[in-house]
Amino acid sequence: MPATSVFSQPQRDATSGFKVVHVIGLQGVKRGSKGEIEVSNDALEFASGATKRELPIASIQDALTGADSQRLVGGTLGFLTTFAPYGSGRFLSLFRTKIDTLTIAYRDSGGGLHGAIFTLPEGQAAALKKQMVDRGAKTSVSAEDEGNPQATGKNTKEK
């Protein structure tokens, strides 16, 4: 039996889906809907219960990922944190968990430009984006350039 590290992430096979939360953007899908995204040869498929939507891979004009954080504790505590004094940010950061975001710009059948935003567990957005790009989706930031601000032109000083 091969030794495995407790820190290694499980490998995803190319046909498995990604658990996501739809933040906004897909027509006919409620905000905050939890579901699963799968990438087939010609479409990005989102399913949440009885709701199913497909975006043709060829219609995806841009796919971007970004790390973000999400509050684990909401309600009154979440509201009260807005009034927290300076210096308490470290304590309050204990109540956040890391997530990834995936933003997709796509064209509908009439040529109209739309966008959709999804959140995924940390470390999965890049793998989903790679599957999409491997099947023909466009992106303005390649996977190799995402971690390199110099390559994307961000944070560079003009002389």
Residue 91, pLDDT score: 55
Supply the range of the domain harboring residue 29: 18-141
Q: Flag whether 155 is in a domain.
A: no
Q: Is residue 154, in this structure, part of any structural domain at all?
A: no
- Number of domains into which the chain is organized: 1
Predicted model pTM: 0.68
Phi, psi (deg, nearest 5) at residue 148: -120, 95
Alpha-carbon distances of 10 from 6, 27, 30, rounded to whole Å: 10, 32, 30
Q: Given the DSSP bridges, would you call strands 43-48 and 33-39 parallel, antiparallel or unpaired?
A: antiparallel
**Is residue 103, in this structure, part of any structural domain at all?**
yes
- The answer to whether position 67 is within a domain reads yes
> Could you tell me if 46 and 29 are in contact, meaning their C-beta atoms sit under 8 angstroms apart?
yes
39 in a structural domain: yes
- 61 within some domain: yes
Residue 68 covered by a domain: yes
Please report, for the domain that includes residue 131, its CATH number.
2.30.29.30
Has residue 28 got a pLDDT over 50?
yes
CB atoms < 10 A from the CB of 141, how many? 19
Q: pLDDT averaged over the chain?
A: 75
Mean pLDDT of all residues in 21-50: 94
- State the average pLDDT over residues 100-128: 93
The DSSP annotation for 42-104 comes to SEEEEEETTEEEEEEGGGEEEEEEEEEEEES--HHHHHHGGGPPTT-HHHHGGGEEEEEEEEE
Asked whether residue 150 is assigned to any structural domain, the reply reads no
